[in-house]
Structure 1
Amino acid sequence: MSDDTFGLGWGDEDEPETTADTLTAVDTTREVQRQQTQARLIAEQVEAAVEAVRPGLDKIPDPVAPAGEGDLTAEEKERLDVCVSGVELLSTAFWIAGKSLDTMAVGRLFRRIPHKLQPGEYYQTIEEWAWLEHGIKQSRCSKLRAAWTLGEALAARGYNAPEGQVRELVPLKNKYGLNAGVALYEIAVEQHGADKVTAERLRDLVKLLPDDLALKDNEDADQIARMLEGVLENAEPKELPASSGIPPAVRRNVERRALALADALNRGRIPRVEVERHLLEAFVEDPTVFDAVLARMKKEAK
C-alpha cells in the first residue's frame, strides 16, 4: 500500500503549506495597511500643525484703536504676541531669500526661466530675474546673498539677528571668514546681553579691530572670540584723534562708560559730542563736578 492511498503527503516537504502561507500573507497585508493608515494620520497631523503656525496676512489681526490708555487687555496682549511674531519672521525671511538667491545664482537655476519682457528669451543673470520678477534691486540682491551665511550661522546658535546687525559683520566675514563674524557677535552678546545687541554696537566693535588681524576661518568661532577679546582690550577707539593727549586706557574706559550710559538710558550708541556737552554743562552747573575736577588737577600738579 502506497503513501498516496491515504493522502498523507509524506515526502512532499518542498511543497508550500498553503493555509499557513495564506495566513501570513493576510497578516502582512493588514500590517502594511495599519502602517499606511498610521503614516497618513501622522502626515495629516503634521500638516495641520504646520498650517497652524504658517505665517500669513490672514493670521495677523487688523489695526484697531487701543482699548484704553492703561495696561493692555487680555485680547490686546494676544494680538500683540501675534504681531511681534509676525515682525520677527522678517529676520528669518531675509536669510531664506538670501540663500535662495545665492543657490539660484551659483547653480544658474534661472537659466531656463522665460524672460518676463522678452518672449522666447531667458534670464541671463540672477540680478535681472530678481529685479523684474520681484522688484529686488541689484545692490539689495548682492547684500542678501552676502549676508545669509552669517544669518544662518547665528540662528544655529540661537540668535535671531536682524538684517541690519548682520550687515555690519559682512565686511569682517568677507576679509577673515564666517567664523570671525560669528565670533564678534558672540563678544557683543557677552558685553551687552543678547537682547541689547544693536547694529551700532557691532559697528563700534568692528571699528576697534586693527586692519592686520591674523585669523584663519578654519579656527573655531569661540577660539576666535577669545583672541578678539584680547585684541579689543588693547584697542584704541579710532574716532578719537591720536593727538588729543588722552591716554589709551582712559579712551577705552570712556567707551565702556558711554556704553553703560546707553544701557541705563535704554538707547543705542551715544555720540561722544553729546557726552562732552553734558559734562561741560555739569562742570558749570554742578558744584560736585567742579570740585571733582579741581581735586584731580591739584593732585596732578603735586
Structure 2
Amino acid sequence: MSEGKFGVTWGAEEETTTTAAELEAAEASRTQASTAAIEERVAKAVDEAVEAVRPGLDKIPDPVEPAGEGALTPEEEERLRQCKDGIDLHDLAWVMAAKALDTMAVGRLFRTTPHKLEPERCYDTIEEWAEVEKGISVSKCNQWRAAWPIGEVLMARGYETNPGQIRELVPVKNAYSLNAAVAVYVLVADSVGADKVTAKRLEETRKLMPGNLQLEDDEDPEALAMTIKGVLLGELPASGAPAIPPAVKRAVDSRAIALADELNRGRIPRAQVQLHLLQAFADEKDPTVFNAVLKRMKDEEKAQKKRRK
C-alpha cells in the first residue's frame, strides 16, 4: 500500500479507481461552479452597463420645487445631470431619426407598408409615411433629411451640436457643399470656442457670406474655413483666391508672349500658363517650382517680420 498525492491510502485496484474518479468529479464540480460564478458576474455587469445607457422617460426626474435659493444641493446637481443627459440624448436622437428617414426615402423602404388611413394602398412617399405614421410634417421631414449629414460629420469630429445649429447650416450645404457647411461651424468654433457656438452665431456668419462667394467642392473643411474667414475679413475676394495685382498680370502676359515665341505658337492664355504652373508645382519628381515657391514665401515672411519691427 502506498500514500498518493491527495493524502489517501491506496489499496485494491477497484478502491483506487473509485477514489480517483470521485476526486476528479469533485474538481470538475468546483471548476463548473467557479465558471458559473464568473459568468454570472459578467452577465450582471453587462446588464448594469446596458441599464446605465438605456434611454427612457423613467430616467428623467419628475419636476419638483427648488430645495432653496443659492447653490444647488447634491440631489439637485444629480437631477440637473439627468436632465442634461436627456437633452443630449435628444440631440443625438434627431440625427438618428433624420438619417433613418433619408435611408427609408432613398431605398423606398416604405413602399410595401399599407397606408394607415387607406389600407387598400401603400404609401407613395416618405413625406406621406412620416406625416401619417409619425406625425412628422412634410417640411420637418425634408429639413431633417437635408441636415443629418452635417450633424453626423460634426459629431464624428467631437462637436456637441443641436438641431437649431444644424438647421442654420443647411442653406450652406445646399448652396455649396457638405464640407462648406462643416467649415462654417469649424470657423465659428475656432473663433469663439466650441462650447460657445450658438445657432445665432452660425446664422450671423452665414448671412455675412457674400452671394457671389466661390468655394471648391473638394476642399477639406479646415481649408474652406480659412477661405471663408479671409473673405469675411476682406483679405480675399469672393472668388476665394488672392487678387492678382495688375502689375503681376501684365508681367505674366508678357512672359506668356515670350513663352509662345519660344514654342513658335500664337498667344497662350493666362489660364493655360496657370495650369502648367500648378502641374509643375505638384510634380513630386521635379521639385524645382515647389522649391522656388517655398523660397519666395519664406522671403515674404521675413520681409513682413522686418516691416512689423
Indicate the TM-score class for this superposition, using the shorter chain for normalisation: 0.5 to 0.7
Measured on the aligned residues, the alpha-carbon RMSD in Å equals: 2.5
Amino acid across the alignment from 2:101 = L
Structure 2 Cα separation of the partners of residues 123 and 65 of structure 1 = 47
**Residue 61 of structure 2 corresponds to which residue in structure 1?**
61
1:96 matches 2:101: no
List structure 1 segments (4+ residues) > 2 angstroms apart after TM superposition.
37-48
1:137 matches 2:137: yes
Which whole-Å deviations, capped at 9, do the CAs of 1:80-132 have from their partners, x for residues lacking one?
10011111212111111110000000000001112101123211111111111
Amino acid across the alignment from 2:138 = Q
Shift in alpha-carbon separation, 1:71–1:170, aligned structure 2, 3 A: same
**Residue 213 of structure 2 corresponds to which residue in structure 1?**
213
1:106 matches 2:106: yes
Structure 1 Cα separation of the partners of residues 50 and 208 of structure 2 = 44
What TM-score do you get using the length of structure 2 for normalisation?
Answer: 0.61
**Residue 186 of structure 1 corresponds to which residue in structure 2?**
186
**Residue 224 of structure 2 corresponds to which residue in structure 1?**
224
Deviation at 1:148, TM superposition (A): 0.3
Amino acid across the alignment from 2:202 = L
Deviation at 1:44, TM superposition (A): 6.5
1:152 matches 2:152: yes
Structure 2 Cα separation of the partners of residues 157 and 148 of structure 1 = 14
Structure 1 Cα separation of the partners of residues 110 and 199 of structure 2 = 33
Query: Unaligned stretches of 5+ in structure 2?
Result: 1-34, 236-309
Shift in alpha-carbon separation, 1:39–1:157, aligned structure 2, 3 A: farther
Q: What number of residue pairs does the alignment pair up?
A: 203
Amino acid across the alignment from 1:193 = G
Deviation at 1:156, TM superposition (A): 0.8
Shift in alpha-carbon separation, 1:119–1:41, aligned structure 2, 3 A: farther
Structure 1 Cα separation of the partners of residues 207 and 185 of structure 2 = 14
Structure 1 Cα separation of the partners of residues 109 and 39 of structure 2 = 34
Deviation at 1:172, TM superposition (A): 0.7
1:172 matches 2:172: yes
Q: The residue matched to 2:110 in structure 1 has which SS?
A: coil
**Residue 204 of structure 1 corresponds to which residue in structure 2?**
204
After the TM superposition, which residues 243-254 of structure 1 pair with which residues of structure 2 at under 5 Å, given as runs? none
Shift in alpha-carbon separation, 1:167–1:39, aligned structure 2, 3 A: farther
Structure 1 Cα separation of the partners of residues 214 and 188 of structure 2 = 20
**Residue 273 of structure 1 corresponds to which residue in structure 2?**
none
Deviation at 1:42, TM superposition (A): 5.9
Q: The residue matched to 2:167 in structure 1 has which SS?
A: helix
Structure 2 Cα separation of the partners of residues 199 and 207 of structure 1 = 12
Amino acid across the alignment from 2:94 = F
Structure 2 Cα separation of the partners of residues 117 and 45 of structure 1 = 45
Shift in alpha-carbon separation, 1:70–1:129, aligned structure 2, 3 A: same
Shift in alpha-carbon separation, 1:42–1:175, aligned structure 2, 3 A: farther
Shift in alpha-carbon separation, 1:117–1:41, aligned structure 2, 3 A: farther
Structure 1 Cα separation of the partners of residues 40 and 155 of structure 2 = 32
Relative contact order (alpha carbons < 8 A, sep ≥ 6): 1 or 2 greater? 1
Amino acid across the alignment from 2:180 = A
**Residue 87 of structure 2 corresponds to which residue in structure 1?**
87
Structure 2 Cα separation of the partners of residues 209 and 51 of structure 1 = 46
**Residue 244 of structure 1 corresponds to which residue in structure 2?**
none
Structure 2 Cα separation of the partners of residues 174 and 40 of structure 1 = 53
Amino acid across the alignment from 2:147 = A
Amino acid across the alignment from 1:101 = L
Structure 2 Cα separation of the partners of residues 215 and 135 of structure 1 = 38
Amino acid across the alignment from 1:231 = V
Deviation at 1:166, TM superposition (A): 0.9
Deviation at 1:71, TM superposition (A): 1.2
Shift in alpha-carbon separation, 1:226–1:76, aligned structure 2, 3 A: same
Q: The residue matched to 2:64 in structure 1 has which SS?
A: coil
Q: The residue matched to 1:164 in structure 2 has which SS?
A: helix
Percent identity over the alignment is 56
**Residue 119 of structure 1 corresponds to which residue in structure 2?**
119
Q: The residue matched to 1:139 in structure 2 has which SS?
A: helix
Shift in alpha-carbon separation, 1:61–1:208, aligned structure 2, 3 A: same
